[in-house]
Structure 1
Amino acid sequence: MNSSGGLRVHGGPRGRDDGRVAEVLAEVIGALAEEHREALCETYLRGRTVREAAQVLGIPESTVKSRVYHAMKIIRRALPESG
């Protein structure tokens, strides 16, 4: 996330839809339930392992996996189709 609380998207080839994808990602991540957003941020954005995220969040590893799975499912549904 950037200093204003929004999501920064790094890397990958640049296309004209990059701005829209970043916008959608920021909206969807912001709209996730807090428990899903926290698990997702600890693993994907902060680069922690599931074990590390579980320790930081004080929950079982299986719960981290479940929350990340459900968050990613929501995000995939919200992203525009590529291709």
Structure 2
Amino acid sequence: MLRRHERRLFDAIEQRLSSEDPEFSRRMTRSHLLTRVLAWLTLARALGAVAAFLALIALLLGEGAAFLIAGALAAVLFACSGRRVRSE
């Protein structure tokens, strides 16, 4: 998280940049769907998506226990994806 004065400095730089070169500013503020997806995607979320996919495959193949295990794994990974481990 940025401190308040750092945020003000960045806002001033952004305003100056947008007044000097509006086309560059417009290109930098646009975001594409792929960029947003890649920014959202973390290792835990990717593993959760794979586990969810495997759970659906197991369900289609009729393996109920495998579906429950993979579904539980996917739920745990998605639940833990927002948590960060900090080292000191």
Q: Into which bin does the TM-score normalised by the smaller protein fall?
A: 0.3 to 0.5
TM-score by length of 1: 0.37
Structure having the higher Rg: 2
TM-score by length of 2: 0.36
Give the number of the structure with larger relative contact order, counting CA–CA contacts within 8 Å between residues 6 or more apart.
1
